[in-house]
Amino acid sequence: MTQPILKLEQISKQYPGVKALDEVDFVVAAGEVRALLGKNGAGKSTLVKILSGAVIPDSGKILVDGKEVTIHTPQDAFAQGIATVYQEMSLVPGLTVGENILLGRWPQTRTLGLEFIDRKQINILAQAALDELDVHINVNHLVSRLNVAQQQLVEIAKAISFDPRVMILDEPTSALASEEVDTLHRVVRRLAEQGRAIIYVTHRLQEIPRVADSVTVLRDGLHIGTIPVKEATPERITNMMIGGDWKKSEWQRDGHIGETKLAVRNLSRAGVLHDISFDLHEGEVLGIAGLLGSGRSELLRSIFGLDPIDSGEIYVRGVRIEKPSPLMMKQHRLSMTPEDRKREGLVLIFSVRNNLTLASLDNLTNHGLLQPRRATVLANEMVRGMDIKTSSLEVITKTLSGGNQQKVVIGNWLNTRPEVLLMDEPTRGIDIHAKEQIFQLVRDLASQKMAVLFVSSELEEVLDVADRILVMNQGRITYEFMHDDVNLEQLMSLAMEEAEHA
């Protein structure tokens, strides 16, 4: 592993108010598996997007085999021998394995002057890619019939079909069980042995010694360091990722912790959630800390009735909810702000007033007719109470800043007057000032006796707002702490651990 294939020199990328990458240097050699680590917002995704041609850097150089190259499109990346396998798979379920591997490049055959898709050649080329990985998947099977691990291997075979010299794997094991992870690691090592350079983006520390030769850590857009895997202890990696400049906020709860408002018992869903049990009390902020693929969002969605459950019990204020649905949960005074505000939390072309009253329309109608005056009063009260920056209630919601859009999402559900509030990534994609306002809102709601279940992949946020913290890993609750009994470094190490029974 001495000959560099890929070299980045002084790569920088600036977004409004954020320097995603700040003069980052990065070198990876033939036959090397380089683990790329960093917290959310560290710059990993930006670096991957630059190499894959999805983002153009503001400055710096990219060199392949010592020659400076330009990568402005995905086609440029493929031309330079760089292929990326993203965490979100891009397979077409209704097509076969072979058709997916050669998607967009189906060979043609000519018969009687007419061109037809050459399915035999598709299968030959697809099989060659699978053989290179030494995996056995029928090229004629529909992708929809495959399990997640098999689909991930098809994605890798699709990248292999371009014959890349550099492969980027972005969180490839986030949805895989442990035995499936072993198979993928074997494939990754095989690719490296063929002389390819592998950039392996992960958040699971236990994977690093199994698959990587070296580790690069980014933090706040900076290259913190690159070390051999034998030096990459969990303690050292965690310290590199966090740094020494973060301190847990100190605050006092104004109210008291009261009776149980939400009780979950042995909640399970095959391959997603495993025997989840906990209580959430009046006046409490219960934080769920977990990294990508831990099951945090899936837990909230299952409680609110958005996703099915296989077994387990859910009680709201002592009443068992037999078949949870969003409508039923709302009737039981439970509300949820979703992770994806633009797709699930807002109707972006609606006005601020309409979005603030969507969830409470049943309380704003008389004999089936909306009472506009009541809706206006309710929306105005929430605009003032949430400090939503808008010139009027008639402003189209998509024109608001991300932080104000998020306030509208929260305000919409607070207008239902819930006693239990589930918050899934409530500060994603908003500025620091808006984050602090939402943190204060959560504390105020708890002080007013609301029970809040707070989920965030930003572990600092969980420590900032929660009275009690549950750590989730691979669909299981693995640890429980009170606010004062754990620090950020400990929490991150525990969140990155392999679940005991995974």
Q: What is the CATH number of domain 282-308+323-496?
A: 3.40.50.300
pLDDT grade, residue 457 (50/70/90)? confident
Strand duo 468-473 + 476-482: pairing: antiparallel
pLDDT grade, residue 99 (50/70/90)? very high
Placement of tokens 């900076």 in the chain: 222
Q: What is the pTM of this model?
A: 0.68
Q: Residue 206 above 80 pLDDT?
A: no
Write down the domain spans for the chain: 4-242, 282-308+323-496
pLDDT grade, residue 22 (50/70/90)? very high
Distant-in-sequence, close-in-space partners of 476: CB < 8 Å, separation ≥ 6: 274, 275, 276, 295, 499, 500, 501, 502
pLDDT of res. 257: 82
Mean pLDDT of 103-108: 91
pLDDT grade, residue 500 (50/70/90)? very low
pLDDT grade, residue 502 (50/70/90)? very low
φ and ψ at 289, to 5 degrees?
A: -100, 130
Angle CA(343)–CA(495)–CA(238) in degrees, nearest 5? 110
Burial of 190 (0-12, 13-18, 19+ CB in 10 A): middle
pLDDT of res. 246: 54
Inter-residue contact 483 to 468 (CB < 8 Å): yes
Percent of the chain with pLDDT over 70: 94
Helix, coil or strand: residue 31 = coil
User: What kind of fold does domain 4-242 have according to CATH?
Assistant: Rossmann fold (3.40.50)
